[in-house]
């Protein structure tokens, strides 16, 4: 059953920070980009690198293992060596809670 699940609070994720979360059998990277929250799969489609540990610049994250780039807002692949994007998830703020739809 799909629905929104609380994964963090706004105070846990300052602008520019990323948090790895596990929910519904998925490992997801949660990002705060300038006060707006986004969630994508945490696993790079190239060799499985943890995107939550990657460098974030603007709305792009670079995989720490081999440098593939992904758009944080959509999961779209922006640069090799990855050839396919990752799934993205809706995030909503409910009071001080961050909720992800899975």
Is it the case that residue 1 has pLDDT exceeding 80?
no
Which uninterrupted H or E stretch holds 99? Answer: strand 97-101
pLDDT in tens, 38-58: 999 999 999 999 999 999 999
Dig out the tokens for 83 from the structure: 């050839």
Preceding amide of 81 cis, omega within 30: yes
Task: Give the Cα separation of 81 and 69 in Å (integer).
Answer: 8
- Stated pTM of the model: 0.95
| CATH, residue 11 | 2.102.10.10
Contacts of 95 (CB under 8 A, 6+ apart): none
- Predicted local confidence at residue 88, as pLDDT: 98
Query: Which residue range forms the structural domain that includes residue 26?
Result: 4-101
What is the DSSP track for 46-62?
Answer: TT--BGGGSEEETTEEE
């Amino acid at each position: 059953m799909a629905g929104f699940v609380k994964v963090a609070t706004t105070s846990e994720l300052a602008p520019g920070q990323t948090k790895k979360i596990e929910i519904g059998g998925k490992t997801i990277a949660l990002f705060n980009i300038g006060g707006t929250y986004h969630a994508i799969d945490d696993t790079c489609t190239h060799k499985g690198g943890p995107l939550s540990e990657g460098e974030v610049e603007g709305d792009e994250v670079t995989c720490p293992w081999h440098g593939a780039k992904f758009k944080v807002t959509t999961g779209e692949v922006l640069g090799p060596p990855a050839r396919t994007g990752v799934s993205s998830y809706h995030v909503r703020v409910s009071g001080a809670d961050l909720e992800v739809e899975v």
